[in-house]
Amino acid sequence: MTSTQKDQHGARSQRSQEADKPHRRKGKKTYSCDECGKDFTRTGHLKAHQLIHSGVKPYSCDLCGKSFTQAQNLKTHQVIHSGVKSYSCDLCGKSFTQAGHLKTHQLFHSGVKPYSCDLCGKSFTLAQTLKTHQLIHSGVKAYNCDLCGKSFNRAQTLKTHQFIHSGFKPYSCELCGKSFNRAETLKTHQLIHSGFKAYNCDLCGKSFTLAAHLKKHQLIHSGFKAHCCELCGKAFTQNGHLQRHLLTHSGIKAYSCEFCGKSFSDKHYRNSHLRIHTGNDVSCCDQCGKLFATDAQLQRHMFSHTEERPYKCDLCEMTFKTPHQLNKHQQIHT
């Protein structure tokens, strides 16, 4: 047998051996985690994943103390401390430490949201975001704060919450001195100083610095008030407003004005009141000269200078000057 014939014979023999091996389709995930059911294409990937469930994190960052299950994850994390962000988005200029983060970010610009929630119809760009969202519908909040008892559906959300109790706020705004416990919160705050409000309400034209603030505002126009007070029946568009309202029933007024001693149940009410004493951002009535802490209070007051009563009750034909008076009246019918 010649050398060429030997080579051909060897190649045929190798192909025959490959054919005898169990066939596994490329990309097929045959290795499953017993803990969470996640599937993997390779045993090595499954083994690396299982370290997460063990809780063992032998690789620690010398700069911040954060620990990781794998050396590669530590290495990736350390890029954050270097400050180097080599991957930039061509559309908005935002920079990232990793190519994968840039790729994920670019999906948001595409506007494509292929992952939809079967329960509420909300769509998401990433499968992981949908998975996180679905925890809301489950009602399961497995992560509890030891200090205040508040529960969360994600470990990361609990971790973020616990910063509040620590009182540690390492991120400060250079323009106003306000401090924050997260870099992301500081970044969001700084948009206020920029004066740039890119998100506009189609119904009233009001502008906002954040998309989330616009979304909250639009609930006002919808008239949908999902959060109801069990004590008086008053309904609110946001849970935060309900929680603030509940303080009025408690009778506790922990926030006092340092100028006149007046007490308030909520610090936001106290801060608004302080403007009257300081003269900062005060709204003045051009009819009677009375001062108001907010523009909304001034607008409500202006109804007192008119005889018009444009708000009518559908049930008894009574009319009112303000929507607030109408809403208060309608509670009689309920």
DSSP 64-107: T--EESSHHHHHHHHHHHHT---EE-TTT--EESSHHHHHHHHH
Q: Token pair for residue 128? A: 């992981």
Q: Token pair for residue 6? A: 């030997």
Q: Token pair for residue 4? A: 């060429």
pLDDT at 23: 43
% of the chain surpassing 70 pLDDT: 89
Averaged over 130-142, what is the pLDDT? 84
pLDDT at 19: 44
pLDDT at 22: 42
What does pTM read for this prediction?
Answer: 0.38
Averaged over 129-153, what is the pLDDT? 85
Give the residue, 324 or 96, on which the prediction is more confident.
Answer: 96
Task: Give the chain's mean pLDDT.
Answer: 81
Rounded-to-integer distance, Cα 77 and Cα 57, Å: 14
Residue 266 CB-density burial (10 A; 0-12 exposed, 13-18 middle, 19+ buried): middle
Decide if pLDDT at 11 tops 50: no
pLDDT at 25: 46
Band of pLDDT at residue 281, cut at 50, 70 and 90:
low
Which contiguous run of DSSP H or E holds residue 270?
Answer: helix 267-278
Decide if pLDDT at 331 tops 50: yes
Rounded-to-integer distance, Cα 104 and Cα 108, Å: 8
- Placement of tokens 């009112």 in the chain: 320
Which contiguous run of DSSP H or E holds residue 60?
Answer: strand 59-60
In angstroms, how far is the first alpha carbon of the chain from the final one?
101
pLDDT at 2: 53
- Strands 115-116 and 179-180, sheet pairing: unpaired
Q: 3-state SS of 38-56?
A: CEECCHHHHHHHHHHHHCC
**Which domains, ranges and CATH numbers included, belong to the chain?**
32-111 (3.30.160.60)
pLDDT in tens, 111-123: 888 889 898 888 8
The answer to whether 40 and 31 are in contact (CB under 8 A) is yes
Rounded-to-integer distance, Cα 40 and Cα 115, Å: 21
Rounded-to-integer distance, Cα 163 and Cα 270, Å: 25
Q: Token pair for residue 180? A: 């924050």
Give the residue, 278 or 146, on which the prediction is more confident.
Answer: 146
pLDDT at 1: 53
Averaged over 203-210, what is the pLDDT? 84
Decide if pLDDT at 21 tops 70: no
% of the chain surpassing 90 pLDDT: 0
Decide if pLDDT at 126 tops 50: yes
Q: Token pair for residue 65? A: 């103390």
The answer to whether 71 and 87 are in contact (CB under 8 A) is no
Decide if pLDDT at 17 tops 50: no
pLDDT in tens, 238-276: 888 888 888 888 888 888 888 898 888 887 788 778 877
The answer to whether 49 and 40 are in contact (CB under 8 A) is yes
Query: Among the listed ranges 67-71, 175-179, 206-210, 321-325, which one has the minimum average pLDDT value?
Result: 321-325
Rounded-to-integer distance, Cα 144 and Cα 287, Å: 53
The Cα-based distances of 14 to 2, 18, 330 in angstroms read: 18, 6, 85
pLDDT at 246: 86
Q: What is the DSSP letter of 262?
A: -
Averaged over 285-299, what is the pLDDT? 77
pLDDT in tens, 309-330: 888 888 888 888 877 788 888 8
Provide the b/e sequence for 236-256 (b: ≥16 CB within 10 Å).
bbeeeebebbebbeeeeeebe
Q: What angle do CA 202, 196, 213 make, to 5 degrees?
A: 50
pLDDT in tens, 37-92: 888 888 888 888 888 888 888 888 888 888 888 888 888 888 888 878 888 888 88
Rounded-to-integer distance, Cα 30 and Cα 25, Å: 10
